[in-house]
Amino acid sequence: MPNTNTTELLEALAAEIGANVYIDVAKWHLYLSDAKLHTLVAEQMYPLITSHSVNEDRVIEVLASIPVKIGGGKRELSLSDLLPLQSQVNLVDILEEYQRKI
């Protein structure tokens, strides 16, 4: 991955996140690719990867800063409130793997 350009890395990271990280609503899993949030999350997490500062606290902090509108925009929750613990763990694992590769 060292020779991969930023756009390709972001696309690959977004695809990985979209396929493995989900929002849990009433025990229904909505994967971030289906929710159209995977690219935004990849873009927000990319600085953590490049600065080699991926850790659970930083990831949760970034997730908390991403607003998600629900109920047709009547309410807004942070993405960290919508991801179950397992999804957060999956995200950290994905980010750590990408961090090792660059």
User: Which tens digit of pLDDT belongs to each residue from 60-89?
Assistant: 999 999 999 999 999 999 999 999 999 999
Q: What is the CA radius of gyration of the chain?
A: 13
Mean pLDDT of 19-24: 98
Give the range among 1-10, 21-30, 49-58, 78-87 with minimum mean pLDDT. 1-10
Residue 4: per-residue pLDDT: 59
Q: Cβ distance 38 to 15 under 8 Å?
A: yes
Residue 23: per-residue pLDDT: 98
pTM: 0.92
Please tell me the distance from the alpha carbon of residue 63 to that of residue 48, in angstroms, as a whole number. 12
